[in-house]
Structure 1
Amino acid sequence: MYGNRLAITEIACDAGRVRSLAQELAAWPTVVTAEIAAREYGVVVTIAALTQSDLAEILLDRLPRLDGVTGMRSHLVGQFHLGGNQWRIGGLDPHGGARNADVPRARRQPGSANAANPWADPQPELVDALTEDGRRSAADLARITGRPLSTTRRQLAHLLGSGALTFRCDVAQGATGFPVIVQWWCKVPVMQMAASVARLRAESSVRQVVSMPGSPNLLVSTWNRSVAEAMRIQETLERELAPLVVVDSAVILHQVKRLGWLLESDGRNTGTFVRYET
């Protein structure tokens, strides 16, 4: 749903500037997610761009020139191994979970010559409408884009069938039993990456796993019931996933923006969506 170049950037800034800087960046269409962390690099943003040159312009020119920025660490995203669309909060009983699992889902066809490019005509208007509200029906999408219903259905089927779009149902974190977000920046030998990711998938508190070149080369994001529970997660990571090593961590105090939506302090949607621009 966003550009095909992603970077996670940690930003250090002057004291007292953290909140205003996070809010300023949340207004950028190219900033997918903006978070405030309890650490020196207090603003963490996920940035999207269509090309490598666009991403470089943001990282090398636009961000460093912002008032109060004193340091940056950028990590290019290599692969999302686990995301919020796969994480389960445990809110459904076994019967409800089984019923939900029976809902038909579009299946990607790896290597298909017909794989859809969501940013090539005529896809962008359709993708844009779905990014704002993934529950829109084909009829809604046809009305919004001004296309015949039959054409909309055909294009939508192509997008979903090629795996170009991913859908997820999100929740306000403050309304869950997992109020503490902790990010673990880890270093793991490349040959052990697949095994580490497979083990992390078994941890119920792990919500996102992202690999990236460099050191650290693995970011693990968790939703926890308490800070004490989060510390036990680190112990598990270092004991059971060795030679994985935790090199840094960040407790997230506030998610200002998530996947384009501006959030209240408790994680509830403000109703404001910042539209991504291609």
Structure 2
Amino acid sequence: MTQSVTLDALDRRLIHALQIDGRASFSGIATVLGAPERTVARRYHRLRSALVARVVGLVDSRRIGMLDWFVRIDCAPDAVEALTAALAQRDDTSWIAPLAGGTRLTCMVRTPAAGPAAGSDGGRPLFDHLLRTPGIRDVEASCVLRPVAGVGGWAGRTSALDASEQAALVGPVPESPDGPEVLAEASGWGEAEARLAGELALDGRADVAQLATVTGWSASTVRRRVAWLRAAGVLHFEVDVSPSHFGFPVEALLWLEVAPAQLGEVTEALSRHAAVAFAAVTTGRASVFAMVQCRDTGALYDYLAGELAALPGIGRVETALVQRRAKRAGPLLLPAVGERARRFPPRSTAHRVGHMS
């Protein structure tokens, strides 16, 4: 549970700056914000220590031969908390949330892509294992085909800097070496890359020396590799912070049934809606899934009856309110004694799902 922290104007400007470039130096950020470097660094470490905000490194699943799934799990009321806790410890889960009502929870799951080349059937063993877990009544998994909104940051946390300040934080756009669709086909995604990604997921601002120790590379190799992965679109950085700290405590999940002919128009519109924190085209009964952030339930109604209702081709909308987020984009961090305990929580392993009850 995060501590009670109120974000002031400088906090919000810092979060916006980090969303633009999560690994920008504090000195560079301080210059843009017009604040002392020591103050900027202290503010970030305060927010991170309080588990309010942190920079996380995220990998594009498609470019390393993986798939993302949005999973809905229906279970007995007395199994929700244990299942939530077990899933939160796994490296392959994110965005875990019990839903209001007490018998359902949702999460994102990453699995190897299906097919002989991947040596996998797309994660079916995990889903089958969930179905065999006592207390779970049903599992519905929809594969994410394409993210269409919220990539690069929810608008609610990217409105504190003006255009000139944002431009000052955006460095030259590096060219992708070969622009591979799948990284593994170009230069390999091995154990060292996976360790690098895992460390950056825990701490997107981990220093080069720390990353060199984890990967076994030299400092110069770490710098080149991180730059290459970012240029190729494999690795990007996000600020992991709850919208409730910006005054948007109500989170709703939407499943939209959209006519294929209007799919492009609907997704393009969703990408411009300020309330939409994330949206993606998926497989399943509903072709579009969206996360929406609102100030209260009245604002949610206004969005559903206004902007969303005005879009063509939506045949059916299912909504659910999130009770709480047990895990967001990055690995679970728990308050503990000592900074090292915060930064390096116990590594999760795939077998832990077997302990669910």
- Shared fold by TM > 0.5? yes
Q: Report deviation, 1:244.
A: 1.4
Deviation at 1:196, TM superposition (A): 0.9
Instruction: Verify the 8 A CA contact 2:193 2:215 in the aligned structure 1.
Output: no
Confirm or deny: 8 A CA contact 2:60 2:235 kept in the other structure.
no
- Whether 1:169 and 2:239 are equivalent positions in the alignment is yes
**How much has 1:208 moved relative to structure 2?**
0.4
| Closer, same or farther: CA 125–72 of 1 in aligned 2, 3 Å | closer
Q: 1:245 to 1:111 in 2, by over 3 A?
A: farther
Match of 1:100 among 163, 166, 177: 166
The aligned counterpart of 2:83 is 21
TM-score (norm 1): 0.85
* Change in CA separation of 1:186 and 1:152 when aligned onto 2, cut-off 3 Å: same
8 Å CA contact 1:234–1:246 kept in 2: the answer is no
Q: Flag structure 2 segments of 5+ consecutive residues without an equivalent.
A: 1-58, 115-120, 335-340, 351-357
**CA displacement at 1:253 relative to structure 2:** 0.7
Give SS of 1:166's match.
strand
Could you tell me how far apart the structure 1 residues matched to 2:77 and 2:191 are?
45
SS in 1 for 2:237: coil
Contact 2:201 2:331 in 1 (8 A): no
Higher Rg of the two aligned structures: 2
Counterpart in the other structure of 1:33: 95
The aligned runs of 1:1-278 (5 Å cut-off) are: 1=59, 3=61, 4-39=66-101, 42-52=104-114, 53-59=121-127, 61-83=128-150, 85-90=152-157, 92-95=159-162, 98-102=164-168, 103-104=170-171, 106=173, 109=176, 112-113=179-180, 116-117=183-184, 119-120=189-190, 122-262=192-332, 271=342, 275=347
The CA distance in 1 between the partners of 2:166 and 2:142, in whole Å, is: 35
Normalized per residue, the structure richer in helix is 2
> How much has 1:255 moved relative to structure 2?
0.5
1:233 alignment partner, SS class:
helix
* Structure number having the greater strand percentage: 1
Compute the displacement of 1:22 (Å).
1.3
Per the alignment, in what secondary structure is the counterpart of residue 230 of structure 2?
A: helix
Q: Which amino acid aligns with 2:78?
A: G
Cα distance change on mapping 1:155 and 1:177 into 2, 3 Å? same
Q: Which runs of 5+ in 1 are unaligned?
A: 265-269
1:38-73 Cα offsets, whole Å, 9 max, x none, are 2475110111112332511111x2111112111222
Read off the aligned partner of 1:100 and give its amino acid letter.
Q
Deviation at residue 140 of structure 1 after TM alignment: 3.3
TM-aligned CA distance change 1:263 to 1:147, over 3 Å: closer
Q: CA deviation at 1:113?
A: 4.5
Distance apart, 1:153 and its partner CA = 1.7
Aligned positions, number: 271
**TM-score, normalised on structure 2?**
0.68
Contact 2:244/2:250 (8 A) holds in 1: no
| Residues 126, 141 of structure 1: 8 Å contact kept | yes
